[in-house]
Amino acid sequence: MLAAAFGASHVGTVVMINGVAKLCPGALADARMALTGWTQSCPRAWQRPHDAPLIVHDPHDQRQVTLQRSQASIGVVDARPGTMKGVEAVTRFADLDDLDRAAEVLGDAFADYPWTRWTVDASEHRRRIIALQRIALEHVALPFGAVSVTTLAGEIHSVAAWNDSAALSVGNVAASVPTRVAELEGRRHEAARSADHQVEPLRPQKRHLYLGTVGTSQTMQGRGLATKTLEPLLDAADHDAAEVWLETSSESNVNFYRRLGFDVENHLVIRGGGPAVWVMSRQPVTRRD
């Protein structure tokens, strides 16, 4: 299966994610696909009007959870309003209408990121990253996972995107995606392929949630928005007892993720003068309801 690795993990390369499983493997993926409107291969029960609450049956614990479609996480309504210098910050799940702005935010956040500098053509670099992010959000994160965003005064300023490795199977990424990604990587395409092949053996073989990206507009960084934007993913992982894995090429990101409970599993430097890569994982936290 093909999945774009975006953002604060990596932007703009195509990687292999291991694990072929059912398209609807339980409450986590069922709810994610229902929330994002991708219900063609899911039971008819989840094909509901856009604003209707979703009642999702969890075969693992024989419970049902109610999800509000516009702002939800597994088992909870994920409004989480907060204040930041007098402006309300709200984290919610994204849909297709949010993707252009979300891609712009990620393009701004990672225009000078070590991995993208190595794997994406320097000519019109920011434009290429935005386009690559847009592809990854639409063709990987929304159908096979989720995208969360945090808004200030209604405008998106932070984005996180992830997928469930067990869901990347039946639907498949559109056949045109690898060609388009290669075009956008431009003269760095072979470098991107080589870098991905070096990282591939370090990726987990078992089922996991893969954090592809979290990024915040440069003017809004350092205010806790990224941590807030990751809350739906971490809550979902804990609820579903799922590990979360990621890759990053920034040492400052390593420290950020450690504060959220991630540990470094592997570290390497891409051959030929490429960036460092840290592979990290987080074990689910058992929470009492």
Q: Summarize pLDDT for 172-202 with one digit per residue, the tens.
A: 777 889 999 999 999 999 999 999 999 999 9
**Predicted pLDDT at 169:** 54
Q: Rounded mean pLDDT of 98-122?
A: 97
| Rounded CA separation 108/105 (Å) | 5
Please give the residue that has the higher pLDDT: either 76 or 246: 246
Classify each residue of 242-259 as buried b or exposed e, where b means 16 or more C-beta atoms within 10 Å of its C-beta: bbbbbbbbbeebbebbee
Please give the residue that has the higher pLDDT: either 13 or 96: 96
Classify each residue of 116-128 as buried b or exposed e, where b means 16 or more C-beta atoms within 10 Å of its C-beta: bbbbbbeeebeeb
Please give the residue that has the higher pLDDT: either 122 or 289: 122
**Predicted pLDDT at 85:** 59
Give 160-216 as a 3 state SS string: EEEEECCCCCCCCCCCCHHHHHHHHHHHHHHHHHHHHHHHHHHCCCCCCEEEEEEEE
**Confidence at 108, pLDDT banded by 50, 70, 90:** very high
Class of domain 2-282: alpha beta
Q: Is the pLDDT of residue 78 over 60?
A: no
Q: Is the pLDDT of residue 234 over 90?
A: yes
**Predicted pLDDT at 221:** 93
Q: What is the mean pLDDT of the chain?
A: 76
Domain ranges of the chain: 2-282
**Predicted pLDDT at 173:** 77
**What does each C-alpha distance from 208 to 6, 114, 191, 204, 216 come to in angstroms?**
17, 25, 27, 8, 24
Q: Is the pLDDT of residue 136 over 60?
A: yes
**Predicted pLDDT at 288:** 65
Question: 25-34, 117-126, 169-178: which has the minimum mean pLDDT?
Answer: 25-34
**Confidence at 7, pLDDT banded by 50, 70, 90:** very low
**Predicted pLDDT at 289:** 58
Percent of the chain scoring above 90 in pLDDT: 64
| Rounded CA separation 4/265 (Å) | 21
Q: Is the pLDDT of residue 265 over 80?
A: yes
**Predicted pLDDT at 23:** 27
**Predicted pLDDT at 87:** 78
The CB-based long-range contact list for 78-87 (8 Å cut-off, 24+ gap) reads: 78/231, 78/232, 78/235, 80/228, 80/231, 82/228, 84/152, 84/223, 84/224, 84/225, 85/223, 87/152, 87/153
**Predicted pLDDT at 286:** 84
Q: Rounded mean pLDDT of 139-162?
A: 96
**Predicted pLDDT at 198:** 98
Q: Is the pLDDT of residue 255 over 60?
A: yes
**Predicted pLDDT at 226:** 97
Return the residue matching tokens 């063709």: 139
CA 65 centroid distance within chain: 23
Please give the residue that has the higher pLDDT: either 182 or 40: 182
What are residue 149's DSSP bridge partners?
92, 159
- Evaluate if pTM is beyond 0.75: no
